[in-house]
Structure 1
Amino acid sequence: MTLPIAWAAAREAVFAAGTAAAPGPVAVPLAEADGLTLAAPLATLTDLPAFPTSSVDGWAARGPAPWRIIGRVLAGDTAEPLAEDGTCVEIATGGMVPEGTTAVVRVEESTVTGGAVTGEPRKLPDWRRQGEEATAGEQLLPAGTTVTPGVIGLAASCGYDSLVCRPSPRAALLVFGDELLTAGTPGAGRVRDALGPALPAWLRRAGCDVVQVRGPVADTLEDHVAALRGAIDSGARLICTTGGTMHGPVDHLHPALAELGARYIVNTVAVRPGFPMLVAQLPGGQLVAGLPGNPQSTFVALVSLVLPLLAGLTGRSLPQLPTVTLGADVPGRGDFTHLALVTLADGRAHPVAHVGSSMLRGLANSVGFAVIPPGTEGRAGTVAQLVPLLDGELS
């Protein structure tokens, strides 16, 4: 019998495996980079701003007032220097501040009489100095940063047309089980497949490119092996399966992995619910995440193993778990880590109802799992780690 690995050690092990299996970086156009991970630090290609820029509509002036108007600078123009005291140019917001400027006077705080401008500049300059935000070559973001719309905008302002990123992991989902219905209401010994529709959406939100969904896969060794081979042929780097992780009469995942020559990275985890979870690697480098068939246990395995695995595959750091204050007592599970579904109310984490391994009602009403370490119990008012249902999400 395989001894289960400690929950925290399992997270570390799959993260290391994902890091070792991460694909090489690729250059991705800015418009296609959202959600990917920077494979190299983002350093600005120019000073930000690249030239002094007016923050207001008004007058760029040299020396004391009054100032004689000698021109105009609009956004996008190249400004000629102000060579003489007592001169100014009209300037638009975003316009290049001419060399020699000593003040920018706002249009609403100035007076124009006979071609001459008077006014009082404010104490704080109304223009942005060259390099005020960053100087050329300065690192703005480290490798491993998730690309967001804000990152894309920053990169564009620095002069980038593309970003060097880790590509999205290609994922496949195989749903095992003769008892599953894919439409209609459950009955007569058959249950509705809740994971086939839910898990692809979850994998996409976690940053995967889902290239195949197959199920229900019949409960035979032959069909399991054929489904795994089909997922390999689809180009998936990550293959998630549901069900068949135990050693019962219709549990064929372990024999199928043996037939394909897989090696285990994690094989059962000391966590409740969901302990019969696994991650294995096939000879071609593909990673198989074997998730239990009970729906809540499936999601325990997802947050426990798949999120850390994906962090490694995408070149990110192992997700650091936030903490919450418990609003009620949470029981322990002996020698196992207990992942207890909680919701947030009044700034505290409260256990939810309907949390059986086969139930999804509690999951749908929660923000994640409170971590109760082995040999302990969670007490109201104490602090516990929280595993969000998706990395970085608390709602």
Structure 2
Amino acid sequence: MSTPTPWPEARRTAYELGLSIDLPTVELPLDRAVGHTLAAAPASANPLPAFDTVAMDGYAVRGEGPAWDLLDYDQLAGHRAAELPDGRAVRIATGAQLPPKTEGIVRLEDSTVTEGTVSGPHQRDWRETGDEIALGEELLPAGTPVSPAAAGFAAAAGLDRLTVFEKPTAAFAVFGDELIDRGPARDGKIRDSLGPMLPAMLEGLGATASRPVHVEDTPEAHYNALNGPAPQPTILCTTGGTMHGPVDYLHPTLKKLGAEYLIDTVAVRPGFPMLLARTPNGIVCGLPGNPQSAVISVATIVAPLIAGLLRRPLPELGVAAVADDIPGRGDCHRLALVDDFGRLIPHHGSAMLRGVATARGFAVVEPHTNARRSDALPLVPMPGRTS
């Protein structure tokens, strides 16, 4: 077994591996681009606003006043505005194009209309062309996830399509004859908890994940799982078999495939026996079989890997003011489950999911240290948590 990779270095290594791989790009309509990541920075096809635009209902006026003769029509949104004559006013709706030569807007609530004239205080209540963004200006940088709001922004800027990365594909090989995929535990077998959980986590990180395939504990089955027919997924995540037990065939299979190890164990608890390898068929992320360790492995190597593939920034760590003392784990980083209030969650064993199901994330305790109550610690957000 090689020397464990320090936890921060493992994150960076996985991220840099992602950056070294070029995903295909595609142009998609705005609605279909949502959920993808920008591969190129889009430029505005029209300024925002596209023309001088009135900010509220009122009267556009030209001349000194204090009263202006009203024109016999209204300036409504969606219609080209004619030049406003001197000494005249026109009733105007929010969002309408500002008539050329307008010198001020009398707000509707401040106006007085009598016998074809309008009076009241006036001011420059309009948005000028390009106030928000100029014609041809970059809307969002490459690497930005396309949210519904980003799609709306692109539409307002006159775009119909965006150039995005194709989503990296992720497949799952779940090792373990002891696992069943439905019903309660029975006859010495336990329910597979990773199969329903991990694909959804990777979908939330920006990948397209397929349903897990359960693999028998035989060398042949392991080899077939890692050397499947083309096309290969961008990432193959395996669960279990990352150590050297009697039926742990992952390492021998990787050796047979001529894999290049980038990470072989990480100095973190839980999650120590994770690995990251490159094979002729693609990238293998070996996740431990214990559920909490597998989740920590997703946060440590899979999330940075996907971020790199999509040219997003390395996932940032949050901050948690912890409410309890948290002992460290010697030479390793400790990732400790905490709730929304920074409290250490009691069910934090590597094989336990009760705490994972409710945790805000993992507070990071540095090697050779113990965290004290009220310390502000780095926080690894729980993958897949939406609130």
TM-score (norm 2): 0.94
Q: State the secondary structure of the residue aligned to 1:171.
A: strand
Give the corresponding residue for 1:226: 224
The corresponding residue for 1:320 is 316
Aligned positions of 1:145-184 closer than 5 A: 145-184=144-183
Alignment match, 1:236:
233
Query: In 2, Cα distance between the equivalents of 1:68 and 1:89?
Result: 6
What letter matches 2:343 in structure 1?
H
1:2 aligns with 2
Classify the secondary structure of the residue corresponding to 1:66. strand
Alpha-carbon displacement from aligned partner over 1:256-300 (angstroms, at most 9, x marks no partner): 22222221111111111111101111214x211100001111111
Corresponding letter in the other structure for 1:222: E
Q: How far is 1:70 from its partner?
A: 4.6
2:17 is paired with a residue of what secondary structure?
helix
Pairwise CA distance, 1:301: 0.6
* SS of alignment partner, residue 343 of structure 2: strand
> Residue 105 of structure 1: CA displacement?
2.2
Call closer, same or farther: CA 1:163–1:203 in 2, change over 3 Å.
Answer: same
**Equivalent AA in structure 1 for residue 68 of structure 2:** P
Aligned residue number for residue 80 of structure 1:
82
In structure 2, distance between residues paired with 1:36 and 1:10? 25
**What is the CA deviation profile of residues 50-100 of structure 1, one whole-angstrom value per residue up to 9, with x for unaligned ones?**
101112223222112222315332211111112x21122232221111111
**Which residue of 2 is the match for residue 69 of structure 1?**
71
Report matched runs for 1:251-262 at 5 Å.
251-262=248-259
Q: Report the 3-state secondary structure (helix = DSSP H, G, I; strand = E; otherwise coil) of the residue aligned with 1:164.
A: strand
In the TM superposition, what is the alpha-carbon distance from 1:243 to its structure 2 partner? 0.4
Secondary structure class of the residue paired with 2:227: helix
Secondary structure of 2:297's partner? helix
| Aligned match of 1:52 | 52
How do 1:263-282 and structure 2 match up within 5 A?
A: 263-282=260-279
The match for 1:381 among 371, 374, 377 is 374
Checking the alignment, whether the CA contact within 8 Å between 2:193 and 2:291 is kept in structure 1 is yes
Aligned-pair CA distance for 1:343: 0.9
Deviations 1:280-331 (CA, angstroms, capped at 9, x unpaired): 11214x2111000011111111111111111101110111211222211111
C-alpha deviation, 1:188, in angstroms: 2.4
Provide the secondary structure at the position in 2 that maps to 1:98. Answer: coil
Name the CA distance, whole Å, in 1 between partners of 2:375 and 2:197: 33
CA deviations 1:340-381 (Å, max 9, x no partner) are: 111122xxx111011111110111121111111111111112
CA contact (8 A) 2:12 2:304 kept: yes
Deviation at 1:7, TM superposition (A): 0.6
CA distance in 2, matches of 1:111, 1:381: 61
Structure 2: runs of 5 or more not aligned: none
Conservation of the 8 A alpha-carbon contact between 1:388 and 1:394: no
Instruction: Tell me, in whole angstroms, the C-alpha distance in 2 between the residues paired with 1:117 and 1:255.
Output: 90
1:198-217 superposed matches below 5 A:
198-215=197-214, 217=215
Could you tell me how far 1:122 is from its partner in structure 2?
Answer: 4.0
Question: What corresponds to 1:118 in structure 2?
Answer: 118
Separation (CA, whole Å) in 1 of partners of 2:141 and 2:169: 24
Quick one: distance in 2 between partners of 1:191 and 1:360? 14
Moved more, 168-177 or 258-267: 258-267
Question: What letter matches 2:71 in structure 1?
Answer: I
Q: Which moved more, 1:198-207 or 1:171-180?
A: 198-207
Report the number of matched residues: 385
Which residue of structure 2 aligns with residue 18 of structure 1?
18
Deviation string 1:161-194 (CA, Å, 9 cap, x unpaired) is 1112222111111111100011221132111111
Secondary structure in 2 matching 1:362 = coil
Amino acid of the residue matched to residue 361 of structure 1? R
Whether 1:357 aligns to 2:350 is yes
- Aligned mates of 1:24, 1:170 — CA distance in 2: 12
Paired amino acid for 1:57 = D
Question: Does residue 249 of structure 1 match 2:246?
Answer: yes
AA matched with 2:110: E
Residue pair 1:22, 1:315 contacting (<8 A) in 2 also: no
Q: 2:106 — aligned with what?
A: 105
> Could you tell me the percent identity over the aligned residues?
47
Gapped regions of structure 1 (runs ≥ 5) = none
Q: CA deviation at 1:25?
A: 2.9
The whole-number CA distance in structure 2 between the counterparts of 1:342 and 1:110 is 58
Instruction: Give me the TM-score of the superposition, normalised by structure 1.
Output: 0.93
User: How far apart are residue 234 of structure 1 and its match?
Assistant: 5.0
Tell me which amino acid in the other structure corresponds to 1:167: E
Match of 1:93 in 2: 94
Relative distance call for 1:328 and 1:394 in structure 2 (3 A) is: farther
Amino acid at match of 1:202: M
Deviation at 1:200, TM superposition (A): 1.5
